[in-house]
Amino acid sequence: MKVHKDISLISGIQKPILTVGTFDGVHIGHQSIIKRINELAEKLGGESVLLTFHPHPRIVLFPDDDTLKLINTVDEKLELLSRYGLKHVINIPFEKEFSRMSPVEYVRDILVNQIGIDTIVIGYDHHFGRNRQGNLKLLQELAPIYEFKVEEISAQDIDEITVSSTKVRKSILDGDIKSTNEFLGYQFMLSGKVVKGNQIGSSIGYPTANISIEDKHKIIPKNGVYIVNVSFENQLFNGILNVGNKPTVSSNSEVTIEVHLLDTSIDLYGKNITLYFIDRIRDEQKFENLEDLKNQIKKDEQKARGYLVS
């Protein structure tokens, strides 16, 4: 898969069969669209293309709104997209000037003159251009003028998928990891760097790696204890993850993310790791003392081991 970051330098894509969207999560609905443009590309002798944007348009258009949390970082999204057979991803920097393009300018200058689309595959409710004035009807009107084809993803097809990025985000925030992973078609992931913690885990026999998430827009699951896989330098470990405020040992409201690795004592400090979420064990709790906390973690470990071998 080739990634293009400068649309003015694009050339040589054979009969681009294109779809457009932010594709946050690259969930099973997105995967079905990618499958369709791959099928069309093979049939028509073309190449499949996704036109996507960074940052997310809402971040640019509403900079004071911190409520949007994204399922994937840019790197995660590109890695996921590479799994599904796409030939090209055009990752356009989304800027206010770009958002002010009229729908006709967008089609003529970007889709036709820069990319040279042969076919665009788009949802029935897709909107584009200044004030989201462009729609499927306009694309169908412009298609014979600029000599490209339009294929609609019908409401029925979209409804049959019954998943959206909004629905995935809600399941993550609810801590419903089983549903999240079903919607995504893969395990939800968090990536970050291991930083120094307060060493309390080590004092009770359960040392943890504290993970710092660099991207402030990355969505974090609901506070609680999770079963995870931990990926580090092409190695995969089992672990128990806590997301929350650590109420037993801290009065700080800051959310921390810390993982205890099962069956290994590898030092991860300063390393970049990725967490793959398998299931949620329980809510975060406040215990009377560290001994009670230790006993609960032992129960969590037993539950995690039972799940991992089942």
Tell me which amino acid residue 29 is: G
Residue 161 has pLDDT above 70, yes or no: no
pTM: 0.91
Q: What's the pLDDT tens digit per position in 132-145?
A: 899 999 999 999 99
Q: Which residue has the higher pLDDT, 11 or 22?
A: 22
Q: What's the pLDDT tens digit per position in 41-53?
A: 999 999 999 999 9
pLDDT bin (cut points 50, 70, 90) of residue 226 is very high
